[in-house]
Chains A and B, each alone.
Chain A
Amino acid sequence: MGRYILRRLLQLIPVFFGTTLLIYVLVWLVPGDPFAGKCGDRACPPAYIEQMTHKYNLDQNIFVQYFLYLGKLFQGDFGQTYSGVDISTLIGQAYPITVRLAIIALIFEGVIGLAAGIITGLGRKRFVDNLVMISTLVLISLPVFVTGFIIQVVFGMDLGWMSVTVSSDAPWGELIAPGFVLASLSMAYVARLTRTSIKENKRADYVRTAIAKGQPQKRVIGIHLLRNSAIPVMTFLGQDLGALMGGAIVTEGVFNIKGIGGLVKQGIETKESMQVVGLVTILVLVFLVMNLIVDLLYAVLDPRIRYD
């Protein structure tokens, strides 16, 4: 196991360099001078453009720029936005909020999604099964911004149970509704995935063997059936956590949450290339680590998988 982890960690290095180089090149090499549109409907003064070009090393070869950027990155310097705000400050401010939102969403997915999946997978009640299938279908077919908008209008404006948007420090309580909205789609998938997985495995050979051996039903379901059925669900949740940690552009936009997704969107809209590169680099790291954790969890769940 230890060697496997080490090998995976070493693999992260070329992946990190490859992706960040790609991002850097893609962001800075988009057509159009990044400062041509900075001054609204007027032309920017040439002296301003020249100064900014120099400040962001744009007068250098793109690869030289990239290595200059990396050099600073390894010293913990993510660079500055055009208005002189440290990008590390922005990340430090937004990341805790994104993590809180992701945890809440994951809890919704895990608790409600898994519960609904297990109940429908194991149970034989037609009504319950139909109810879960239909309600998940509704959630899957609704775009997130619609779900968000409905919750905002009904619970925020009509009933007044919650504030319409989330305040800037985003306490846990205010993130519950956005967390539900963010989780709604994945929650539905988790429920369906769990249900199908359990139904399939119920007829698997090892389950029949366990029953034939005369094991108590509790053990058959708890140890054999559920644990094995959890593998695809775990994969999904792991991937999803990676996505959640990357911020939720739509949900954050609807509720005005100051998370990572909003920063990425703002960076793209205002052409703050440095901000986009910095944020996406962080996202790459988060994704890589999340993937590693998910892979390791397989071994815990499935005794057949060995990493040595």
Chain B
Amino acid sequence: MRVSRKGVLPALPLAAALVLAGCGGGAGKAEDGTVTLYGNDPQNPLIPSNTQESEGGKIVDAMWSGLLKYNPDTGKAENEMATSITPSEKNTVFDVKFKKGWKFQDGTEVKADNFIDAWNYAAYAPHAQNDAAFFSDIKGYKDVHPADEKAKPATDKMSGLQKVNDYEFRVTLSASNVTFKQKLGYNAFYPMPAQFFAAKDKDQWAKKPVGNGPFEFADYQPSVQTTLRRWDGYAGKDKPAVDKVEFKVYQSQDAAYRDLESGNLDFMEMVPPSALVEDKYQKDLDGRTLGGTVMSDQFLAIPQYRDPAWRNPDLVHGISMAIDRAQITKQIFNNARKPMDGFVPDSVPGSAPNACGQYCEYHPQQAKALVQRSGYRGTIPIQSNADGGHKEWIEAVVNSVNKALQGTGVSLRFDPVPTFQVLRQQQQSHQLTGMTRGTWNYDFPSPDSELAAQYETGGSSNFIDYSNPGFDAKLKQARAASTEQEAAADFGAAERLLTASMPHIPLWSEQGIAGYSDKIKSVKLNKLKRVADLSSIRLAK
């Protein structure tokens, strides 16, 4: 009988176990001056010009400084290393001067050759760098990166890059482009130290990379964390206040969020959907949250090569007006998205206000009339992978449209595709059989980033084969403008041309909702990349 009493309490050992764990635990608490941020494994070797996804981008941006830096408040590019970037009258030649005495973390000085060599390296096709296309504005790009990528390039140097002296160089573009300057803060344009070019195995070098930014590389434990140390030789003006940053890998956002609540994690740039329900995060984090529109938007794209009837603006306008964006962003996304009123999110400097007008508003009656006027009848599929939360919102869109257009004979249908790769392949090989979804994350703060890639004839992400000579001409005109204000007016006009033909149905832009622990007093969110601005972190004393 004594034995049986012991056995009936399986909960006792658990309680004991937890007490033990409590004693052994506490290792998650970081020492002072260390900030732990939500992260993941970088997907490519840590070479700036080969980094285009956000996890590698977080590390690379902390380790390097470019000519320009994106201001976390305005999103605009401002001088970092550069002292002046002077465009020629037509914005075809940019004269770049930068600070003397700025050093790499190996002690060598950053000179003009470090920029020129790095850019040539990145653009050279056989190096297969992910960001090569960023250099396509520069004169001579076609010689180092032929359109047929298998062909051997004629040379490995772009003729548009000329050294003036050690601290000045000249960039000549193949066509005038006022927005080129805005691109220079992107990580593809970072300078590289001489040891990088000397290294035989670049991927091996990238295991212990050397940059010129506020943090230096300390350690990378795959699938665990990346650790960076503050580098005191940093020559920039925004010296970081923290000693060490750790980008910790989490398997689930929810686990990370519970760590954030209990103080084991200090920053998370996106609180998980479960915490957004009824603004739960506000209470959980006691107001330690950051918000604001991030330069990223989501849309439905209509392949122009499929059914000619889908190019009828009346039909697309009607469908767009049958989507209750306000309702869906509230109920499905818990306000983590904001309805779009144009093709460019309003957080992008130079975006035109309300470029889409009534066509991006919910007007079920007008929608019906427009669709009926188009004369189209049938069901249009929306192709997408169902994972990643896409199924929910696509079904909400389908329901909203089908309800509003009831009786018109036009309806939508969600057509799931097994994986994201299959979807990408269908998009790229022009085999879409219906509408599809898409997201655009801005690479540089100008409408040009999205407009050129998605809608310009032959644009790098123009997988719907949209081609509108009037629009192309407007974009060219915008880039050739002498000031950014003038350019903005032309970009706005270009956006309105898109509204007229509607190759995409704009849906919503992303509202970043970041959270931080009580260890951090203040921090800013980089609106361009949706990451913490590390220099802005101030610790609570």
CA distance A91 to B270 in the complex (A): 30
**CB contact between A253 and one of B18, B129, B149, B251 (< 8 Å): that residue:** B251
* Contacts A40-B52, A163-B26; A90 near B428 (Cβ below 8 A): no
CA distance A102 to B461 in the complex (A): 47
Q: Check: B365 CB closer than 8 A to any chain A CB.
A: no
Chain A stretch 121-142: residues in CB contact (< 8 A) with chain B? 123, 125, 128, 131-132, 135
CA distance A98 to B7 in the complex (A): 28
CA distance A125 to B2 in the complex (A): 12
What 1/0 flags go to B431-463 for Cβ under 8 Å of A? 000000011110000000000010000001101
**CB contact between B251 and one of A30, A118, A135, A252 (< 8 Å): that residue:** A252
* Contacts A45-B133, A46-B149, A155-B18; A32 near B225 (Cβ below 8 A): no
What 1/0 flags go to A151-193 for Cβ under 8 Å of B? 1110111001111110111011111110110000001000000
* Contacts A162-B18, A176-B21; A44 near B223 (Cβ below 8 A): no
**CB contact between B252 and one of A30, A32, A176, A253 (< 8 Å): that residue:** A253
Interface size grouping (class) on chain A = 35 or more
CA distance A90 to B421 in the complex (A): 25
Interface residues of A, dominant DSSP: helix
CA distance A27 to B262 in the complex (A): 38
CA distance A254 to B42 in the complex (A): 22
Contact stretch, chosen from B9-17, B169-177, B319-327, B356-364? B9-17
Chain A stretch 104-134: residues in CB contact (< 8 A) with chain B? 108, 111-112, 115-116, 118-119, 123, 125, 128, 131-132
Q: Check: B3 CB closer than 8 A to any chain A CB.
A: yes
Query: Is the pair B4, A123 in contact by a Cβ cutoff of 8 Å?
Result: yes
Query: Is the pair B4, A256 in contact by a Cβ cutoff of 8 Å?
Result: no
- The residue on A at minimum CB distance from B130 is A48
CA distance A180 to B11 in the complex (A): 10
CA distance A119 to B3 in the complex (A): 8
Across chains A and B, the number of contacting residue pairs, with CB separation under 8 Å, is 216
Number of B residues, CB within 8 Å of A: 77
Query: Is the pair A153, B258 in contact by a Cβ cutoff of 8 Å?
Result: yes
Q: Check: B224 CB closer than 8 A to any chain A CB.
A: yes
Q: Check: B261 CB closer than 8 A to any chain A CB.
A: yes
Query: Is the pair B27, A48 in contact by a Cβ cutoff of 8 Å?
Result: no
Q: Check: B218 CB closer than 8 A to any chain A CB.
A: no
Q: CB-CB < 8 A to A135: which residues of B?
A: 10
* Contacts A32-B422, A32-B425, A41-B440; A164 near B262 (Cβ below 8 A): yes
CA distance A284 to B255 in the complex (A): 29
Q: Check: B473 CB closer than 8 A to any chain A CB.
A: no
| Minimum C-beta distance from B129 to chain A (A) | 7
Q: Check: A61 CB closer than 8 A to any chain B CB.
A: no
Q: CB-CB < 8 A to A151: which residues of B?
A: 18
**CB contact between A173 and one of B24, B41, B423 (< 8 Å): that residue:** B24
Most B-side CB within 10 Å, residue of A36, A38, A115, A266: A36
What 1/0 flags go to B218-248 for Cβ under 8 Å of A? 0001111100000000000000000000001
Q: Check: B207 CB closer than 8 A to any chain A CB.
A: yes
Subset of 22 A-B contacts with CB under 8 Å: A37-B420, A43-B463, A45-B128, A45-B130, A47-B127, A83-B41, A111-B13, A116-B7, A116-B10, A135-B10, A153-B258, A162-B18, A162-B25, A171-B24, A173-B20, A174-B27, A176-B18, A177-B17, A180-B13, A254-B252, A256-B259, A258-B224
- 15 additional A-B pairs beyond A135-B10, A156-B262, A262-B251, beta carbons within 8 Å, are A30-B421, A33-B424, A39-B130, A40-B53, A46-B149, A50-B149, A82-B43, A83-B41, A83-B45, A119-B4, A160-B22, A174-B21, A180-B13, A256-B256, A265-B251
